[in-house]
Structure 1
Amino acid sequence: MRSLLFLAISLLTFSLKSNANHVNDFNSHQSDTLKKGTNYILFSKSENIESVSFSKSKKSKENIVYIKFGFPTPIPSSNGIQGNILQSNRKYTEDGSVPVFDKIDILNGKYADIKMSKDTNVRNLFKLTDAEFPLRLKLHSGKESIDLEFTEAGEWNISIELKNN
């Protein structure tokens, strides 16, 4: 009788453990996010996007999203002449232009207006005004794309840097 009880408990334990592992595996594979904060989610980014950073102003009451998009700022050399030569020969794109978003898909939420301005010689600044949150966007620039979401209203600053190929 004891051996039958031991066998039943062993089978039940094995079954529960196996089921728990299956549930645990399911939960870990269910999320396809690359980066998740308390109030933002980075769902995906293409291969040539080096980094994406998110910050939210705690002081501002406006619903604005600032997106800086481009290449890393060149590191100046300690030798002024050598630094000028290196920077003048560096080309990020064939025509020397700074990348822009060709297409912006609004997957959730909305914004009233978008304005683009030059942030630096290698980066553009996009300002989305009167945003309604949660705001999920899929941004496209040529072959590059990024899918992100802001779950909380406020003033957001996003920096998207492409790889320096």
Structure 2
Amino acid sequence: MNNFTFGNTDFQYYETICGGSGAGSGFSGTDAVHTHMTNSRITDPEILETRFPVLLEEFSTREGSGGDGKFRGGNGVVRKLRFLKDMNAAILSSHRKFPPFGLKGGMPARCGRNAIVRRDGNVLEIGGQAEVELKAGELFVIETPGGGGYGKKEKLEG
């Protein structure tokens, strides 16, 4: 799970952000999907930017973040929000230190990453659980982990 909140005295927002699901016996994982979370939907970018002082600069599939194997794990996502007003933000996320494992010889997925890009261009790496103060113009970057791969990848003889 990747839980992200931001707000100030005028605005408050909470979202859950998808990642990649793990592969299994006979199937590859799914890219950019909520796992272990039901009845949740992320806000459409047009609504988000209309109701809150933020710009959604990127929301894309994080290619190569799923674990390799006979069946590949799904890819996570990249989500970048630029704040147009001073805000507090908090992230509660997992698999920032330990990668999602693979099974039956499948490879682990890439860990997730959270960072703040300050107005002066400095990048502050933050952990899986953090609360930060953001100034107008700063960027919050969330890269969610992929899912683990399943089974040993067969080598092609040539």
Category of TM-score, reference length = shorter chain: under 0.3
| Rg larger for | 1
TM-score using structure 1 length: 0.25
Q: 1 or 2, which has the higher helix percentage?
A: 1
Which protein, 1 or 2, shows the higher relative CO under an 8 Å CA cutoff with sep ≥ 6? 1
TM-score using structure 2 length: 0.25
